[in-house]
Amino acid sequence: MEGRGQPEETVVKITGMTCAACANRIEKVIGRMEGVYDIRVNLALEQAAIKRDHRLVTMEQLEERLLQLGFGMEKEKEGEEDNGLSAQERHFAALLRSFIFSAMLTLPLLWTMVTHFSLTSWIWIPEWLLNPWVQLALATLVQFVIGRPFYFNAYYALKNKSANMDVLIVLGTSAAYFYSHYLTIRSLRFPESAEHVSLYFETSAMLITIVLLGKLLEAAAKRRTTDTIRHLHQLRPAKASVMREGREWSVAVEEVERGEMVLIRPGERIPVDGQVVSGHSTVDESMLTGESLPVNKQKGDLVTGGTVNRGGMLKVTVTRAGEDSAASRMIRLFEQAQAAKMPIQRIADRISGVFVPCIVAVASAAFLAGYFYLEPGLFGAALERAIAVLVVACPCALGLATPTSILVGSGRAAEHGILFKDGKTMEQMQRIRTVLLDKTGTITTGLPVVTDVYAVDGDRQSLLRLAAAAEGPSEHPFARAIVQAAQEEQVPAVEPDRFAAIPGSGVRAVVEGTEVLIGTRRLLHLHGITHVADERMASRLEAQGRTVLFVAANGRAAGYIAVADPLKPSVRMAVRRLRRLGVRVMMVSGDNLRTAQAIAEEAGLTDVHAEVLPEGKVGLVRKHQRRGGKVAMAGDGLNDAPALAAADVGIAVGNGTDIALEAADVHLIRGDVGGIADAICISRLTTRNIKQNFTFALLYNTLAIPIAFMGLLAPWVAGLAMALSSVSVVANSLRLRRIRLT
């Protein structure tokens, strides 16, 4: 028997969804297919994220099943930037055509309504418009040509033992149309009563036209919510200029491989992440840092995909390309956030699942009450009550309440360099009460420089040579600072024979037969080295906020190297903002207590945990979780990953290690800890917006349905109210685009 493959997530565009009931039906039916592990349908984006085993369920099988349900599928193609957006544009254009055609046919029928009211009876009407057969012809075109999609969608919904908004529209408009059709045929038999018969053709036609208007307005509003998606896709160029076999080739970005050489000309968007090997230029990194001033780039500097080369020609060695690049990661995280559901959405899903059958029952009750009790014997009046109930109810507003807010809120966050991994994280962020900040690379710049080198035997060059060789394979910022210092002093580079990183403490290596230890006092003490070099001066440097790395060779203290890692300019303001939001902020570091306290004092922090190993950071997270309240951990290094995973919300700061980015729930692309306060503000405002949408949708239906039941709403007014309810929810979500973060 063929084994199961690894689950893979596929994003597909789904056409034909009209309300939350459609999304629920797709999730239930597709979710039951063998080989489908998870499916999340987003009504606002009209797409689904499907996690499946490609051996057990193919794309063709998914498409076939969706067709059976009455929906279409359009797979997102790799490297095609605006595929989803162009489909949205086509949908909008089709809706506009349908609405214009429907309105042109409905206006003559609307003209005939002036005869229904004494105040407007004086308005002239062409005699031919009052002819029932002319009205029948106009209404038939609207009902069955323009309204055909409603019938198809309703048919497939009922076929699959479900009901959606289309069922309500079809029931309401068909009741008005066929009753009027009956009266028209009846007039042939009783011509003397034809002049006094009240027809409802304008009701059915107007309802379809108004529903189309509502969908058109909704689609127009949704187009505004996708601005961020469009911007993110534009960060990824389709082509790259690659040097192969001594020649320049223009290839698709997806075909570029790590280690290849890429040419980037002035004005071009950088297609990959890489390191400059030749050339000098300025690069616009505002999409990452938010800073408008270009950054100088020369040999040895790193460049990021999605940024723009403003100056000269650059030759870049590829370090990350395709789906591994920073721009692709940003897009992937953003789309994951759109596909995910917030827990509050489950309430709407449960309501939507029974909404339509309940409304049909209420409409039937309204007809019976009107015909037998409220207005006995008046079939037309009772029918109008039932139609009004059917069309005024709106499950669409319930279905759009959450996804539209998440779409706009996460888009606003992306503009500030904040990417949420999923909707649950966005909801959790507002509940954060404690934030643990790692020191190096989070509070500090992560770009330390060597300030002091002390060798016991006085040979500074030899000490730097040993230290640089031992730290060479390490990715820690302090290691890079030592290697950089050795290069600047032209110390010969040496490869270590053996290397091992000791998280939170330092490194251990063998260099040309010499066993080298570099790290904290604790690391040396653990290896039996109790006396470190020049303790008094080392302590003085630590009190100044510098980190002292002690070096031992073959079991004896060899000296120390002091590095200074400056504080990020925005940290003090970020700490104050977090406190204003009611969040407790503390620093956690593997550094010694004196250095940690000096940095914390400069940052305006009083809660400091120093000399903490990776497992100790996890312990701190657990400790504060037990005290109550949600805990966030912010870091960027390998040793932060366990704590990031353990926290209620893990926050990766800047372009940290891959493991840290994978473990985190939120990614602060710009590396600014002020983004934590921004994320909390956006989370709170988005959640409040969702609750407003949800409350409005429930309140609207709670009030509108009884009013329609009592016969106080004309069917066309009910249809207009239904259409505007969905538009109002989307418009309220769009207010998040203008939020101010304080």
- Separation between Cα atoms, residue 21 and residue 270, nearest integer Å: 43
CA-closest candidate to residue 146, choices 110, 173, 114, 122: 173
Work out the number of other CB atoms within 10 angstroms of the CB of residue 528: 8
Q: Can 438 be counted among the known catalytic residues?
A: yes
User: By the 8 A CB rule, do 87 and 35 touch?
Assistant: no
Taking every pair of Cα atoms in the chain, the longest distance, rounded to a whole number of angstroms, is 122
Q: In angstroms, what CA-CA distances link 75 with 17, 63, 237?
A: 16, 9, 20
- Separation between Cα atoms, residue 608 and residue 599, nearest integer Å: 10
DSSP string covering 655-698, please? S--HHHHHH-SEEETT--THHHHHHHHHHHHHHHHHHHHHHHHH
- Find the helix packing angle between 674-709 and 715-734, rounded to 10°: 170
Order across the sheet with 281-284: list the strands: 295-297, 281-284, 308-309
∠ CA 666-667-671, rounded to 5°: 135
- Separation between Cα atoms, residue 346 and residue 399, nearest integer Å: 10
CA-closest candidate to residue 414, choices 482, 335, 497: 335
Phi and psi dihedrals of 290, rounded to 5?
A: 80, -5
User: By the 8 A CB rule, do 430 and 683 touch?
Assistant: yes
Q: Which residues lie across from 239 on neighbouring strands?
A: 252
- Separation between Cα atoms, residue 194 and residue 237, nearest integer Å: 68
Half-sphere exposure of 442 (CA within 13 A, CB side): 27
Q: In angstroms, what CA-CA distances link 70 with 33, 291, 653?
A: 17, 48, 44
- Separation between Cα atoms, residue 339 and residue 23, nearest integer Å: 12
- Separation between Cα atoms, residue 553 and residue 538, nearest integer Å: 18
∠ CA 340-346-347, rounded to 5°: 145
Out of 273, 284, 438, 565, the active site residue is: 438
The two structure tokens encoding residue 453: 């080198």
CA-closest candidate to residue 365, choices 331, 330, 389: 389
Helix ranges (H only) for 316-459 are 326-339, 345-369, 379-392, 395-415, 423-429
**Cβ contacts of residue 714 below 8 Å, gap of 6+?**
384, 388
Q: Which residues lie across from 248 on neighbouring strands?
A: 243
**Cβ contacts of residue 534 below 8 Å, gap of 6+?**
454, 559, 560
Q: List active site positions.
A: 438
